[in-house]
Amino acid sequence: MRLVIIGGGILGTAHALAAVRRGHEVVHLEREVEARGATVRNFGLVWVSGRSANELDITLRSRQLWEEIGGQVPGVGFRATGSMTLVRNEHELAVAEAAVANPGAADRGFELLDADRVRTLNPALRGKFLAGLHCSTDAAVESRQALPALRRYMEATERYSFFAGTEARTVTGSTVIDDRGRRHEGDLVLVCPGAAHSGLTRELAGDLPVRRVRLQMMQTAPLGEPLTTAVADGDSFRYYPAFAGAELDRLNLEQAQPFTAAQHKMQLLMVQRLHGGLTIGDTHEYDEPFAFDVDEAPYEHLISVSEELLGRKLPQVVRRWAGVYSQSIDPGAIVTRAQASDAVWVITGPGGRGMTLGPALGEETADLLHL
């Protein structure tokens, strides 16, 4: 078959990869010269640890696919770093203890380590904490390098064509007409618009059960030493469904977040890039219209927590940015798939799971459509 895929972010690219790996031909359109949305503004984390029990199978499948892809496409920068969620009080410790006792803990690779064992595994963590919840299955890719590397891999098959700086204007049947008047004909059209819920997306599928979420993040200069795992703080328990339960309820009730963290719905996530710098975030904002500028207070909070856990000053912050991603508001859905016509599907709304689940979601759609 010949597929026309609209949208060059992780979902569009993952769907293209799934189709190409099954022997199909793909024409891929991206309105920017290079994707600039949430895909390249995230941590690049393949985050098994926080996903709910209902999502665990597809998350582990996606983790497996990322490892396979990393072996075939070294440019994506896949590495099986694991993660360490550091706990700093007894309430957070209780949540971590419940996590390692839950069904599925072994599948996630959970292990609760005392502070000395944490430092043995990740010597860069010389700060203040009681213990660490280690997840051996978490991993990372290079978010700013992965998509170009995957496109080069697909182009080598001679069954993949990428049209950068090309905006899809109309879809008629299974033919897409772009903003230069060119016709891109296929048997099937997949629209992966990211957080662009209006325009062509709305014309094709109406109002979808999705919302937009804004985040703030930053990047430092090289740390000067390896950070051998991704790092999270105990506030991250509050934002991931895997940790739901009585212990988390008690944490939320009895251990308030600092004012800035609560105001901006914050957690600390930190991952080291291949160049040695740290990507650090993040915040969650749900009420539109979103501001066009960034708030300094969240960055000050993230720097303070990072330095407390590392036991040292952070390197210079060299970049700060905001991003917006699409999140399904259907509680039973990992992603929103809407069939606009016999030949057209719109796929969006993975929330903060896009990078983690992208390969498996592409594979799942390919199965659904009998590709």
DSSP code per residue over 91-119: HHHHHHHHHHHSTTHHHHTEEEEEHHHHH
pLDDT digits (tens, 9 = 90+) for 138-185: 999 999 999 999 999 999 999 999 999 999 999 999 999 999 999 999
pLDDT digits (tens, 9 = 90+) for 31-67: 999 988 888 899 999 999 999 999 999 999 999 999 9
Of 283, 285, 276, 267, whose CA–CA distance to 320 is shortest?
Answer: 283
Distance separating alpha carbons of residues 183 and 343, to the nearest angstrom: 16
Of 214, 164, 178, 202, whose CA–CA distance to 13 is shortest?
Answer: 164
CA angle 124, 97, 138 (to 5 degrees): 50
pLDDT digits (tens, 9 = 90+) for 109-146: 999 999 999 999 999 999 999 999 999 999 999 999 99
> Which pTM does this prediction carry?
0.96
Looking only at the bridges linking them, the beta strands covering 175-178 and 183-185 are antiparallel
Distance separating alpha carbons of residues 92 and 112, to the nearest angstrom: 12
Distance separating alpha carbons of residues 328 and 347, to the nearest angstrom: 10
What residue ranges define each of the domains in the chain, with the CATH number in brackets? Answer: 1-82+140-209+333-371 (3.50.50.60), 84-136+210-328 (3.30.9.10)
- Cis ω for the linkage preceding 123 (within 30 of 0): no
List strand residue ranges (DSSP E) for 242-335, in order.
Answer: 269-272, 278-281, 317-328
Distance separating alpha carbons of residues 56 and 59, to the nearest angstrom: 5
